[in-house]
Every structure is written in C-alpha cells, then in structure tokens.
Structure 1
Amino acid sequence: MRVQWALAPLAMAGLLAGCQRHEAEPYEEIRPVQSIVAGRSAGTVGARYSGEVVARYESRLGFRTAGKIAARLVEVGSAVKRGQPLMRLSPEQEVLQVVAAGADVDAARSRVAQARIDLQRTEALLARQFASRAELDQQKLALDQAEAQLRAALAQRQAQENQRGYTVLTADRDGVVTAITAEAGQVVAAGQSVVTLAADGDREVAISIPESRLDELRQARGMQVSVWAHPGRSWNGELRELAPGTDSVTRTYSARIAIRNADPQLLRLGMTASVLVSNVEGASAIRLPLTAILDRDGQRHVWIVDPKSSRVGLRQVALGSAEADSVLVASGLNGGETVVTAGVHMLQPGQRVKPPVAAAETADAAASSGGGK
C-alpha cells in the first residue's frame, strides 16, 4: 500500500506534463455569406416611372346652347361611334324660336311682294306722266330694303334651326366614354363640359418626372413600356410631350410617352403602366445589388472571395447610376470575381467564409431581375 501511494503523485505529474505539451488549436470562425459572380453586360441602369395608359386624343364635349338635360343616352365605358347621340336637351324653347323665325320669313316675303307691286304701279304711272322719277327711285329703294330684310330673316331661321340641332350632343369621333359630369334634369350652360370621350387608336402613358431626370428623359435613346396586366410583354415608347412647368403640388413635370404599335385590346385605358428609361453609362458595365456595397471612410468597397482559399479581400470600386436595388460599377471590377452580396458589414480582411452559392446567379441574372425589361 505504501508503494502505491508513493507512485500516485508521479503518475499525476506525468499526466499534467502530457496536457501541457498538447495545446488546443485556435478556433477560426467561418462566416456564411451570399455572393454572386460579377459579369459584364450591355444593359444599363435606368429610371422606372409608373403611370397610366391614356388615349392620345381626349375630348371634353359640351352643348353649344344652354338648356335642361332631358336624357342621357350613354354610360361611362360605353363604346360610341362618330355622330352617335350622347345627351339631349329639352327642345321646347328652340322649337318656339324656329317657329318665330319662320314667321319673320313669311312677313319679309310679304313685304317684298308688296314692294314689287308698288314698283310696278309706279312704273305704269310714270309712263303716263302721273308719277315722278323720284317716286320711282323711292319704290326701288323700298324693294331693295324688303329683299335685304328677307335675306336676314332666312339667315335667322337657319340659325334657329341649327340651334335646335345643338340640343343633341353627338360624338365627334369613335371612342370610349370615360367620364360624365352632368345628369338628366340638370341645367347646363353653353360650352359646359358634360361628357369626356377618349378616342380609339393611339395610346400613351402619362407619367411624372422629377426635375433631376429631365435631361436624361430628353436624351434617352429608347424606352420600354410594360403593364401589370400583361407581365413579360413590353412595347417600345418615345417621348411625345413634356410639360414646360411643374405641377403646383407634386413639383414634377408631366410627360406623355407614345406607345408604338399599341393594341387597344391589350392596352386598355386606365391600366397601370411602367416606363423604363435607359440611362446609358457608356460601354458594358457590371451591375451589383446595393447590399454588396460597403462604405468606409467615404469610399465604396466590395468584398471579393478568393475561390481557392474562400477568404475575402476588400476592393475599392467606383459606382455609376443606381436604380431600385441595383447599381452599376463603373470601375474596380474586371468581371468574373465572386462578390459578397449579404453580410458585408460583418466581415474582416482575410476572413474565411462558407463556399459561395455559386454560380447560377450572375450579374446578368441580377440585371434581368433588377433592371426590369
């Protein structure tokens, strides 16, 4: 027993010495990140504006005479043809005016007939030396006045007949009724707008432009128009109209983008549309998500992953234009680098990261999803 107790301290000392010789290896944190492979493309970052599909020509129609609306013959959304009645006024007043004008015409004709008879009688008396030349001239003047009054009465009757025709409001072109601002029984003034008619044919997109993008809009080489109702389809557009002044509330400029080869059956009035205005940055460029950009000391950087060691390094880049959640890299990348797109604020130079989710997601794929064709 004494020998065993004597050997025990020696065994413990040996164990302690063995532990001191095998120190624990330092722990290295491997941080998971998301990444993409940067690739060049000819696509560019542009501005996207939301708007509404409208007709190229839109008429606000009103009666050419005042009166009380007797009937409304169309509804909002009704498709109408040129010359089709839209509303009708009560015609009683106009009918009476036409009757009065007709009576004036009859009276004027009677005066003309009487003046001719008087002229003939004066001519016969002059031949027999019972009338003077002055009396004959007076009768000729009376006939001329009577004929002038007849012409005025005929013109007045025609005007009253036209006025009666103005009691029916008709469409000035083929189109769709987009608004009605008066109802049956309402008294309206001459020229007051009561029906808005959008013409068939050309379609446009009405958008609002901030003042900082005016030059870009004017110099844009091409525009792409798309609508929510038909995803995956787009139409070419061009700037047709740009307001010279801003809206008093929004402080933006109104613009109209004409849609080439627009199909009215697909592009219906009032649809929500999106206009992509390309902002050309020169030759091909690299597009990255905004989450890949790290701002340090006023400089922009990205983390580059070494494909062999899976370690990251910081690289300074120069940026171009930004749109939504993507940005163009003007310089600093050559293409083909693996760039960290998430977790950039948690990394340190030389830190090891998990193997990137490679490759199917490239900058071109990001361009198609972020740039929006």
Structure 2
Amino acid sequence: MAVLSFGAVLALAGCSKPVEKAEEIRPVRAVKLAADNVDTVAQFPGEVRARVESRLGFRVGGKIVSRKVDVGTQVKRGQLLMQLDPQDLKLAQAQANAGLKAAESNRDLAKAELKRYQELREKNFVSQAVLDSKETAFKAAQASFEQAQAAFRNQSNQAGYTSLVADVDGVVTSVDAEVGQVVAAGTPVVRVAQAGEKEIVIGIPEDKVDALRKVSDVKVRTWANPNEIIPGKLREMSPVADPATRTYTAKVSIPNAPEGIKLGMTAYVTFAAKSQNAMIRLPLTALFNNKGATSVWVVENGGVKLVPVQVAGSAGNDILVAGGIAPGQTIVTAGVNLLKPGQKVNILGEEQTQRADSATGANAVRTAAGGAK
C-alpha cells in the first residue's frame, strides 16, 4: 500500500505545471529631457575678511609691560596698543646724549683753535703746515660731532619705539603676546584689520580657475542673512595652489557691504554665466556610477538601459550634461541604485496619470448611461 501511495504522489507531481515567476516591475521617478541655454553656476564657501589686515610688531626687542587693547577693540590712528619696558633704551639714549655733548665740546675747541691759528698765520707767526693741521683737526671734530648727533637721534627713535601705536583706523582681530613676554624686534604681537572695504576669501578647484576668471556676474550671500544678495567682484586670484588644500585662493571684494557684514562671517560666493550651447539639466540623483563612469538610466519600451554621459558642470543643485543623451528621452531620477539593465519599471507619475484618466473615463460612461435612462 505504501508503494502504491508513493507512486500516486509522483504521478500527480508529474502532471502539475510549474508556477511561473512574475516579472518584477520596480516603481521609479523619471523626467523627460529638454535642452536649453542654462546658467552655469559655481558656488564656494568663504570667510569675510578685511581687505587690509596688518600684523603689527615692535621695531625693537624687549619685555612687554602694558597691553591697552583686547580682541574686538575699535582703534584710531595713533592709539597706543602695547608698550615695552623703556629703561634700557633710555639709558642708551642718555649715553648717546653724553657722547654728543663731548663731541660738541671737542668741535668747539677745534673751531676756536683754528680761528686763532688763522689770525697768527695772517701775521706770519706760524707756518702754513701748522694751520693745515688745525683745519684737519677741526674737520675731524666736526665729523665726530655729526656722528654723535646721528647716534643720539637713533637712540631717541629707539626709545620711542617702545610704544606700539595703530597706524590706521580699524579693529583688533588678534592679540599674539601678553604682558611679561619678551619679544624680538619685528615679532607680530597685534593684528589690526583696517576699516573700510571687506572681501570674501574662497578656495577654487584647479579645474574651474580659467572658467571663473571670465565670469563677471558674482554674487555674495552670508549664512546669517541668506536672502540678501550682495554684488561682488573677483579682485585677486592666486597663481599658486595651496599646498594643503590644493585649491587656488581667490579674493572677492564687496565694496558696498552692508553694516551687518562682520569680519569672520561665513559667506557663499556664486559665479553665474550663460552657457554658449544648449545643455541638458539633470538632478544629481539621476547619476549612477558604473565602473568609474558617470551614467544614467534611460527608459525605453517599459525597461531601462544604462547610458554613459558627459558632465559639463553644475547649475545650482542640478548637473549639466553635454553629451550621451538627447532631448526627449526619459531619464530615471529616483531609485537608480536598485535597477539593472533590462529592468521593467513603472514610472510613478505616469501611473497616477493613467489612473486619473481611467477614473475620468469611467465617470463619463456612468454619466452617459444615466442620461440614457
């Protein structure tokens, strides 16, 4: 009986048909392509800085005994910023003054002797050789006096250099030394940003340097007030790339900056230019990386195929495509990572449209039927 039952089961299994696997259809979002002359836009973040920022330091070395400003202090031209201990320099000034007085006395004595020997020479009481020696002695004394005078002026200037003053109107952006610190001559101790024109410092990739040099439409927005657009101008482009970031430093001036633009703010610089040739604009989500090549999924006959494209740049949040696809084609914009070549897809927007059309047709049939009654 067991053998008969097992044979019957095998017979029934052989007669049954295999279940056909339904083809998977993935829902996607897509867009129909159109070409147009679009604005090529490149945007870079940067920092608001003063056009002129000076690193001030003492012209002599010494110990700092006083600091009169803090970071953020508004300063005027000639205002005292820091001061060194002047004791040693004052002693040197006194020494130079004493040397000047000694040289002045020697000069006066040599001058008086020269005058007396000139009178004696007129009376032929001394020889011409003696008179010449007195003239030489006077000239040497005069030179020594001038040398001592220059040394005294130099030491007087050195004593005056113990006071560091602001050379322009501006604001203190950094204090790099404190009271009690001994600094060498020329060491920067205070940074002062000059009041006036401000600019935005940004870094530009090497592949966009040549293109952005020709762009004249430059706009600046700040993070604090993104709705306010400020016209800017590319003032300076570094000829050498930064060794750390490998970008080229650019400075965008904003001559008519509003009062709300403060130093150190985060800003965004936008370069805009009309493209010469018509290009296709695609959202960034439509791109698919296939073995290092940028590609997109093209919808044809209900399925998709992978097509490589040439990216020409960016326009806001979109990508500009210069080749590989043509206007009129339908490109998948969402769900690109879940597709494979030949995959059947269902475009969500089209499905909703078809359902709406079907509902409209059904309503029309019902209305017609009601009218017939």
What does the per-residue CA deviation read over 1:25-69, in whole Å, with 9 as the maximum and x for residues that have no partner?
xx9999876567877776424222111111111111111111111
Letter in 2 for 1:70: V
The answer to whether the Cα contact below 8 Å between 1:49 and 1:274 also exists between their aligned partners in 2 is: yes
Give the TM-score, by structure 1 length: 0.74
Corresponding residue of 1:327: 319
Give the Å deviation of 1:206. Answer: 1.3
Identical positions, percent: 41
Give the Å deviation of 1:251. Answer: 2.1
1:118-267 equivalences under 5 Å are 118-263=113-258, 265-267=259-261
Give the Å deviation of 1:110. Answer: 1.1
Give the Å deviation of 1:254. Answer: 1.9
Give the TM-score, by structure 2 length: 0.74
The answer to whether the Cα contact below 8 Å between 1:45 and 1:327 also exists between their aligned partners in 2 is: no
Give the alignment partner of residue 288 of structure 1, picking from 278, 282, 285: 282
Give the Å deviation of 1:243. Answer: 2.2
C-alpha separation in 2, matches of 1:182 and 1:166: 17
C-alpha separation in 2, matches of 1:349 and 1:182: 68
Letter in 2 for 1:122: Y
- Closer/same/farther in 2, CA of residues 296 and 69 from structure 1, 3 Å limit: closer
The answer to whether the Cα contact below 8 Å between 1:55 and 1:198 also exists between their aligned partners in 2 is: yes
Give the alignment partner of residue 72 of structure 2, picking from 74, 77, 82: 77
Letter in 1 for 2:260: L
Corresponding residue of 1:342: 334
Give the Å deviation of 1:220. Answer: 2.4
The answer to whether the Cα contact below 8 Å between 2:232 and 2:255 also exists between their aligned partners in 1 is: yes
The answer to whether the Cα contact below 8 Å between 1:32 and 1:354 also exists between their aligned partners in 2 is: no
Instruction: Compare 59-68 and 134-143 and name the one that shifted more.
Output: 134-143
Corresponding residue of 2:272: 278
Give the Å deviation of 1:81. Answer: 1.4
Letter in 2 for 1:321: G
What does the per-residue CA deviation read over 1:169-194, in whole Å, with 9 as the maximum and x for residues that have no partner?
11121111111111111111111111
- Closer/same/farther in 2, CA of residues 144 and 67 from structure 1, 3 Å limit: same
The answer to whether the Cα contact below 8 Å between 1:32 and 1:353 also exists between their aligned partners in 2 is: no
**1:300 and 2:276 aligned:** no
Instruction: Compare 207-216 and 183-192 and name the one that shifted more.
Output: 207-216
Give the alignment partner of residue 92 of structure 1, picking from 87, 96, 111: 87
Give the Å deviation of 1:354. Answer: 1.6
The answer to whether the Cα contact below 8 Å between 1:317 and 1:332 also exists between their aligned partners in 2 is: no
Give the Å deviation of 1:282. Answer: 2.2
Give the Å deviation of 1:349. Answer: 6.0
Letter in 2 for 1:154: Q
Corresponding residue of 2:370: none
Aligned to 2:48, the other structure's residue is in SS state strand
Aligned to 1:278, the other structure's residue is in SS state strand
Give the Å deviation of 1:253. Answer: 2.0
Aligned to 1:74, the other structure's residue is in SS state coil
Aligned to 1:201, the other structure's residue is in SS state coil
Corresponding residue of 1:355: 353
C-alpha separation in 2, matches of 1:72 and 1:354: 73
Aligned to 1:230, the other structure's residue is in SS state coil
Give the Å deviation of 1:75. Answer: 0.6
Give the Å deviation of 1:216. Answer: 2.1
Instruction: Compare 63-72 and 295-304 and name the one that shifted more.
Output: 295-304
The answer to whether the Cα contact below 8 Å between 1:292 and 1:340 also exists between their aligned partners in 2 is: yes
Q: How many residues align?
A: 321
- Closer/same/farther in 2, CA of residues 260 and 29 from structure 1, 3 Å limit: farther
1:26-65 equivalences under 5 Å are 43-65=38-60
- Closer/same/farther in 2, CA of residues 191 and 234 from structure 1, 3 Å limit: same
What does the per-residue CA deviation read over 1:222-266, in whole Å, with 9 as the maximum and x for residues that have no partner?
222111011111222232222222222222222222224223x22
The answer to whether the Cα contact below 8 Å between 1:47 and 1:276 also exists between their aligned partners in 2 is: yes
The answer to whether the Cα contact below 8 Å between 2:39 and 2:275 also exists between their aligned partners in 1 is: yes
- Closer/same/farther in 2, CA of residues 119 and 292 from structure 1, 3 Å limit: closer
Aligned to 1:77, the other structure's residue is in SS state coil
Instruction: Compare 165-174 and 345-354 and name the one that shifted more.
Output: 345-354
The answer to whether the Cα contact below 8 Å between 2:212 and 2:271 also exists between their aligned partners in 1 is: yes
Letter in 2 for 1:278: A
Instruction: Compare 171-180 and 127-136 and name the one that shifted more.
Output: 127-136
Letter in 1 for 2:344: Q
Corresponding residue of 2:8: none
- Closer/same/farther in 2, CA of residues 174 and 46 from structure 1, 3 Å limit: same
C-alpha separation in 1, matches of 2:215 and 2:121: 88
